[in-house]
Amino acid sequence: MTNQYDVVVIGSGVIGSSIAYHLSESKQKEILVIDKGFPLSGTSGSTQAWVWVHNKTPSWYGELSMYSAELYPFLERKIGDVEYKRTGGIAPFFNESDREKALRLAEKQAEVGIDIEVLNREQVLEKEPALSPTIAGATYSKIDGNVNPFRLVELYIKAAKRNGAEFSFYNPVIDIDKDNGNFTITTKEGVFYAKQLILAGGPWTKGLGELLGIDIPVKQVRGQIIVTEPLAPLIKHTIGGMRQADNGEILIGYSKEEVGYDRRTTLDVIQDTAKMAVDYLPDLARANIVRCFSGIRVMPHDGFPILGEIPEIDNAFIAVMHSGITLSPLVGTLMTELLTEGETSIDLKRLRFNRFNECNV
């Protein structure tokens, strides 16, 4: 391992590893990815992993998510089977009064090419018979699905390594300096130099920003998930709130709490999640729960990805977002375009860091 690289990526979660893989395909850069732990020790190893598009709003955000979902089948052909399944997505509603909102969503998303059907109770139950007959209807789109995040990150990294990218695990970055156009990155295991630097530290990205003297406007938001024992196939679609994995386990939950970096699970949220599960799928009342886990989302203050150059620090870039599983193929592609060509095929204006005014500490 040398200590001089064209690009150093900090963070080997789904975002850092996707960027490293896509960038390595261009064969133009010597790349090093540094992680303080192992690749799935952050949020990417504690996620629901829906590739979810249909009710992402405003519609430009839905459109971005759709482009990324469309890249998944192609990605699988390149890196291998990541257990991506385009199951179709169902987001149920329980009150007739929500139908108007659902119709407006369908109309808006159609403008950017996302097809949504607004189903009545009978139509939903025909698609997904195990859902509760108390639902009033649902929005449905074929574009949604889910993926195995463990295989995804592992295969991004294997493919990046095959293309020559290097990785340094269990190696925290503790200092970053910029001097004569080069970044000096001090880690527990030594010093590395890079011409371009990418912060992809997930929920720790704010701390990485402090090493560069910038305030990155992100919050940490905990999510708690229940996992059932493996069950016979019960649901076919990805349902707003739950999905069934290939091994039969059902992953349930979408809670949000701002409690800092605290990965404990708590009885109150787990009870609410279990109640939601049974309200949606009454059969789950008989399922055994084998474990609960929590993950810490990184959530930009306005909810949208922060992607691209870091203002006033030449050659420093950031890629931090919620929904990184959905967005990773597109983010890797766009960051590669930005780093190798200086421009992107999709305008990143809405995602730039400088949309926030208060970036300097």
Where along the sequence are the contacts to ligand FAD (CB under 6 A)? 10-16, 34-37, 41-44, 46-50, 52, 172-173, 200-204, 208, 223, 225, 295-297, 321-326
**Closer residue to ligand FAD, CB minimum distance, 19 or 116:** 19
Q: Give min distance, CB of 99 to ligand FAD, in A.
A: 25
**Closer residue to ligand FAD, CB minimum distance, 72 or 93:** 72
Q: Give min distance, CB of 96 to ligand FAD, in A.
A: 28
Both tokens assigned to 18: 């996707």
Q: Give min distance, CB of 320 to ligand FAD, in A.
A: 6
Q: Give min distance, CB of 29 to ligand FAD, in A.
A: 19
H runs (alpha helix) in 188-261: 205-211
**Closer residue to ligand FAD, CB minimum distance, 109 or 146:** 146
Q: Rounded to whole angstroms, how far apart are CA atoms 121 and 248?
A: 26
Q: Rounded to whole angstroms, how far apart are CA atoms 37 and 170?
A: 4
**Closer residue to ligand FAD, CB minimum distance, 49 or 281:** 49
Q: Give min distance, CB of 28 to ligand FAD, in A.
A: 23
- φ/ψ (deg, to 5) at 52: -115, 130
**Closer residue to ligand FAD, CB minimum distance, 217 or 223:** 223
For residue 334, the SS3 value is helix
Q: Give min distance, CB of 329 to ligand FAD, in A.
A: 11
CA–CA–CA angle 306, 141, 270 (5° rounding): 70
For residue 92, cis peptide bond before it (omega within 30 degrees of 0): no
Q: Rounded to whole angstroms, how far apart are CA atoms 331 and 187?
A: 26
For residue 220, the SS3 value is strand
Q: Give min distance, CB of 51 to ligand FAD, in A.
A: 7
Q: Rounded to whole angstroms, how far apart are CA atoms 62 and 112?
A: 8
For residue 58, cis peptide bond before it (omega within 30 degrees of 0): yes
**Closer residue to ligand FAD, CB minimum distance, 99 or 356:** 356
Both tokens assigned to 268: 């109150």
- Only one residue has tokens 């789950």, namely 284
- φ/ψ (deg, to 5) at 112: -110, 10
**Closer residue to ligand FAD, CB minimum distance, 50 or 280:** 50
Q: Give min distance, CB of 16 to ligand FAD, in A.
A: 5
Q: Rounded to whole angstroms, how far apart are CA atoms 50 and 64?
A: 15
**Closer residue to ligand FAD, CB minimum distance, 185 or 281:** 185
H runs (alpha helix) in the chain: 14-25, 59-79, 98-110, 121-127, 149-162, 205-211, 267-280, 324-341
